[in-house]
Amino acid sequence: MGDIRSFDAADGATGITPSLTKDSASNSDRILRVLHSLTLEDKCLLLSGKNMWETHDIPRLGIQSLKTSDGPAGVRGATWTDGTHTTFIPCGIALAATFDPALVQRVGKVLGSEARSKGAHVLLAPTMNISRSPFGGRNFENFGEDPFLTGTHATAYIAGVQDDGNGVGACMKHFVANDMETRRFNMDETISERTLREIYLKPFHMVAVQSETPPWTAMTSYPKINGKHADTSRELVHDILREEWGFDGLVMSDWGGLNSTVDSIHATTDLEMPGPPLRYGTVLAQAVRRGEVSESKLIDPAVIRLLRLLDRCSLLPGDDKPGDSVSLSSCSSSTEKSEAETDTPEFRQTARETAANSVVLLKNENNILPLKPEKLQTLAIIGPNAKHPTLGGTGSAVVNPYYTTNPFDSLSETAKIGNPKIEITYEPGILTSLQPPLMGHCLTRPDSGDPGFQVDFYAGHAFSGPVVATTYWHDSLVYCMSDGDVPTELVGQPYSYRATGRLRPSVTGAYNISLSSTGKAKLFINDTLAIDNTDWTTISGNFMNCGSEERLAIVELTAGKTYSVRVDNVAVPPPTPPHDNTLFHRISGVRVGLLYRYDEAAMFAAAVNTARTADAVVLVVGHNNDTEREGSDRTSLSLPGRTDALIAAICSVNSNVVVVTQSACAISMPWVQDPQAIVQAWYQGQECGNAVADVLFGAVNPSGKLPLTFPKRIEDHGSHKWFPGNAVTDKAEYGEGVLVGYRWFDARGIEPLWPFGYGLSYSSFSVSGIAVDGTVTHETSAVVKATVTNTSAVVGSEVVQVYLSPSPAIAAAGLDAAPKALAGFTKVRLSAGESKRVEITLQEDAFAWWDTRRNGWRVDKGIYKAFLGTSSRHIVEEVDVHVA
């Protein structure tokens, strides 16, 4: 946490005017000349987005647009759906499970390179919020429940993105406490100052102050914190982030999350995204003229911060004389430039290595893993996620990957290499999606054989007159959100659109067909009305909390026969204002799903029968993009549908079952005693199938560790009583305080199902020779040392973890304190029989706690306990650490 002596809020103030001394003199002069050439309207326009991803340009002055791009699991580019292909990396929680900052930094470098190839200057990542509850719908983006683990991996991620060769900046988000999806735009979260400082702000402080490569930008969060939206909170943005921490980078709103003209600029939130602006731009200039906002004290410092960022991205004019005008004939908008695709062997290898190293081996009875194909005559691969895995999260994490792999294909290929005669069978067993899947596999455009919908746009709501424009979508999802999705001449005007395609099913029988929309939509099959969704009133999580619930109909279809499909949608806002966000209620979309009405009892029985005769079973189950997603929180620890029953039934007929679970959260396992092996596989991006196969067949020795605590029941979890809050009153209390995750379990003496930091290996290790060198002072550190030995015949990696006891003064003050908290870790790779000495450094900030009576950090001298082990519950030894 830096120099504790300067942490009092009254010390170390930097002021709101960003220093120009960090730039070279010529750069500083150029920025000031540009600033002085700007009119008030220019300045306020620069502080607002031009479109979905870009800032405004000013051609007469040679100022070009800065392009941003999502996101945390891959660089999407300028198109939200069906955009440029990109590398699909494992989700944030999987990256955290590697406990390997060096590997995460390599991933960041891939993302920085991909951003550069797509013409983006700022990658809107990483997500640094805390997985406070197992139910958090956006947990897949986070780095887990511990602030130190989160800050460490975020630091590495940012260093990779901002590698010198990339020329791309990162954006730390969401500042701060964006930890739930329920009413996320309106929820008012009550968080104590100590909890905010020690848990939720700590990762941001680590990357903004302690890191050698602080992020170029920051993004504010959606909810209210202690009564104020984050972007309007002067205490959070100005007082803490800027003055106390000295962060002089650009601060932008989350998309549609700028909540006030005056309050936001007073908080020093610099940039409203996306555009066109609603609260900055012309409205901000009017506030200046009314005397509500100071141009010199608020507008100019914000513009300087933006100009410095533009200068860093070479988007400002050259060293011209003041007042000179620069032609922009060669400075086109970056969204007009082509977005390159860079699918390299190096990027593929990094994605595969990361995915495999994120896998956590939870159980391995009788060393059933790794599987040996040569010893198997039959292998059953079962489960809904085997052929259709969850590769990543939704919302900001959606990308269009170069390719994907699935467990069934990868396991089958690997098994047959080891044993060409092996017999492999497959059964899904159950259905777990809440909505019928998209029908792109059997849907083509009316004018070609290409998959997807043709969408024709009309002025007005009557679907009459000439077609204004036509767009094409690769599947049965139309999502008009990014620039160009809606014809320019219809933006801001009444419009409607008609999606048409040809449906050709491969199986005869009854189907569930579904429709969800943002406007008033009707679905027709062969020009006969199948679903009327024009009178919906209940808002669901679809289309970023602005769409209707799915409406279903049953249709009889014949294999090989072609049917016309048509959706007419009147583009109007949701029936009631859903929330404070200014963007998402303006998007428009329709979703059509199709699912054959399987005999689910027969599916279940077929899976059990297949398992009964197999030498071994790999059962791949988990959550999907319906049951865990941005926009809504989960309400149960259970895996979806009849998953638990399927696992129990399969294990009852076969004694060699390996269960592979996919989730970004803790899940319940009432069947935990039944299978021989349990593998937690997260969401692993494009290399999902290959990573699972690499681990199960032993090409990779698992080394992942849990960045989350798995409770036996939700009532055991510290967040249970308070999460997610009251969706009627929009009030939430962070009642567990600083006892987040494993801290609660330790403080309350509750045994978890699987503890934080836990993970097995095909190797075995011993940790010995533990000692501490040095004393902690303002100027010196203590070093915990240990010898790690691979006591097996298999090369592998172990993660050594150090946890620290709290100051006795905390308990003396009647405050909660966790018995121990993560303060350091290191991952060491060892050959068979090899030993290595490892060192973990403990600095002063590791012992700091926030004293509300002093309104500052304090470190109490004395003797602390350092707990060294391989998880939060597997402690090898306790040693004393002296703090002077």
Q: Give dist(CA 581, CA 686) in Å, integer.
A: 32
Nearest Cα to 761, choosing from 703, 697, 801? 703
User: Strand 677-680's sheet: what is its strand order?
Assistant: 360-364, 677-680, 657-662, 616-622, 378-382, 423-427
Nearest Cα to 764, choosing from 787, 738, 793? 793
* Residue 180 φ then ψ, to 5°: -145, 160
Q: Give dist(CA 61, CA 48) in Å, integer.
A: 17
DSSP sequence for 356-422: HHH-EEEEEGGG-PSP-GGG-SEEEEESHHHHS---S-SGGG--EES----HHHHHHHHHHHH-TT-
Q: Please calculate the CA angle 149-155-156 and round it to the nearest 5 degrees.
A: 95
163 classed as catalytic? no
- 734: Cα within 13 Å, side-chain hemisphere: 27
Residue 268, Ramachandran bin (φ over 0: left; ψ between -120 and 50: alpha; else beta): left
User: Chain-centre distance of CA 429, in angstroms?
Assistant: 30
Q: Is the dihedral of CA 749, 753, 756, 757 positive or negative?
A: positive
Q: Give dist(CA 107, CA 97) in Å, integer.
A: 14
**Tokens standing for 259?**
């909540």
**Tokens standing for 858?**
């304090």
* Residue 786 φ then ψ, to 5°: -155, 155
CA 854 → CA 194, 246, 598, 739, distances in Å?
11, 21, 65, 21
Q: Give dist(CA 355, CA 696) in Å, integer.
A: 13
* Residue 499 φ then ψ, to 5°: -100, 130
SS3 letters for 229-295?
Answer: EHHHCHHHHHHHHHHHCCCCCEEECCCCCCCCCHHHHHCCCCEECCCCCCCCCHHHHHHHHCCCCCH
Radius of gyration of the chain (CA): 28
Q: Which residue in 57, 179, 254, 633 is the catalytic one?
A: 254
Contact status, residue 213 vs residue 273, Cβ threshold 8 Å: no
Token pair 């600083």: residue: 738
**Tokens standing for 816?**
């909660």
How many CB atoms are closer than 10 A to CB 202?
A: 22
How many CB atoms are closer than 10 A to CB 564?
A: 14
Coil, strand or helix at 860: coil
Q: Rounded to a whole number, what is the distance in angstroms from the first to the last CA of the chain?
A: 17
How many CB atoms are closer than 10 A to CB 723?
A: 23
Nearest Cα to 258, choosing from 582, 585, 630, 584? 582
What does DSSP assign to residue 297?
I
* Active-site residue list: 254
